Amino acid sequence: MLSSGLTLIFSMMGVLNFAHASFYMVGAYVAYSLVGVLGFWPALLLAPLAVGVMGAGFERLALRRVHKFGHVPELLITFGLSYVILELVQLVWGRTAVPFTPPPELQGSAFTIVSHASQGMSLVLGKAGPDVCAAAVSCSNFPLTKVFMMAVALLMLLALWLLLTRTRVGLVIQASLTHPEMVEALGHNVPRVLMLVFGSGCALAGLAGVVGGITFVTEPNMAAFIGAIIFVVVVVGGIGSLAGAFVGSIVVGLLQTLPLTVNGSLATLMTSLGFTVTQATPGYPLLRLTMAEVAPILPYLLMVLILIFRPKGLLGTRED
């Protein structure tokens, strides 16, 4: 969800927004404040709009002024904005986590995966009862909030793709980046179009923040926690490619989760092949690391390999 908004801004404006994850955090906190007054579902709509207005205002008052000086000033001003937002969030909502819980409709489990020793795996809609889990080898509940997150992410991607490729507004947006003079000659306000694009990208980040806020923990470090990984997703998938952002998200997600189920290490593999591995073996501190321990760095290693062997990313296109 975050990568789609970041990709929209970069592909349409050429701006790599370092404050994108900060708008994600603001979306969560604004929704948390609105929930107490309006309820969750109105907050789900109003919080992204508020974040989008903030983003559009930032583009109009600050980013546009440095755009003519090149990409480095743009990076620096968005980088500085991320710290400003962090301090403002801590001043308004405090430095500790806030109790942003999902609404009653999204509480509980969507389904339960039950594993039996003799019958294999079975799927139970909703939360399985204690008697079912007691007779099983393992019993894993899948939260409704994550089903909701996946549904919103897919709908967001589909709506964004349809907007950019199947509507007149999308054609004007794309033409404003490649042929701004021609678009202006046709009577369109290019600076206003780019302002709306930046605001829309920030609104998508705000929407992700609302959904992420009820799924994870809403606290000031949530932007730093997820900020780095979204740039990995964009680089791996291909900068400027919405399809690449989708594929990159899946690849990075698998790299972060599947290795957690593997307790083996290179030392274990070498031992199974007949080699003797002891503490005196060269490189033993690295050989003994399990896949679960190195899982957090695997996406960044993949990004390095992508940059070396395929700089345009998996689905990106190299510009002439």
Over residues 237-290, the pLDDT tens digits come to 887 787 888 888 889 988 888 888 777 888 888 888 888 878 888 888 888 888
Quick: pLDDT tens for 78-97. Answer: 999 999 999 999 999 999 99
What is the average per-residue pLDDT within 118-142? 69
Quick: pLDDT tens for 195-205. Answer: 998 999 999 99
In this prediction, residue 134 carries a pLDDT of 65
Task: Please tell me the pTM assigned to this model.
Answer: 0.87
CB 237 within 8 A of CB 314: yes
CA 74 to chain centre: 21
Q: Please, which pLDDT band fits residue 320 given cuts at 50, 70 and 90?
A: very low
User: What is the number of other CB atoms lying within 10 angstroms of the CB of residue 132?
Assistant: 15
> Is the per-residue pLDDT at 68 higher than 70?
yes
Q: Which residue has the higher pLDDT, 11 or 71?
A: 71
> Is the per-residue pLDDT at 130 higher than 70?
no
State the number of CA atoms in the 13 A half-sphere of 65 facing the CB: 8
In this prediction, residue 231 carries a pLDDT of 86
> Is the per-residue pLDDT at 211 higher than 80?
yes
In this prediction, residue 262 carries a pLDDT of 77
Q: What is the mean pLDDT of the chain?
A: 86
Rounded Cα distance between 227 and 239, Å, is 16
What is the average per-residue pLDDT within 286-301? 86
Rounded Cα distance between 293 and 251, Å, is 18
Percent of the chain with pLDDT over 70: 92
In this prediction, residue 202 carries a pLDDT of 92
Quick: pLDDT tens for 145-184. Answer: 999 999 998 898 888 888 888 888 888 887 877 788 888 8
User: What is the number of other CB atoms lying within 10 angstroms of the CB of residue 273?
Assistant: 7
What's the one-letter identity of residue 207?
L
Sheet-wide strand order for 109-116: 120-125, 109-116, 138-143
